[in-house]
Amino acid sequence: MAEPKKRLTSTRSGNRRSHLAVKAQSLISCPKCKAAVMPHRVCENCGFYKGQDVLELEKKQQAKEARRKERQENE
């Protein structure tokens, strides 16, 4: 394996590590209920994302799958 010819200076190491710092999370306000939400996530308060009620859509889809299973069992 290759070995470094000279020791790295602390400045060089610090410059390399300058991007490793933990950054504060950015929050936006939900357009529906004005709660603080992380970007590109469903609002936990109201369940909306991009103007659609995502949680309601999930409930409808689960009900649809349950009906489909009942039909298959009856056949």
24-71 pLDDT per residue, tens: 989 999 988 999 999 999 988 888 898 888 888 778 888 999 999 998
How is the chain split into domains, by residue range? 26-74
Q: What is the pTM of this model?
A: 0.51
Residue 75 has pLDDT above 80, yes or no: no
CA angle 21, 38, 60 (to 5 degrees): 145
The rounded distance, in Å, linking the Cα atoms of 39 and 28 is 6
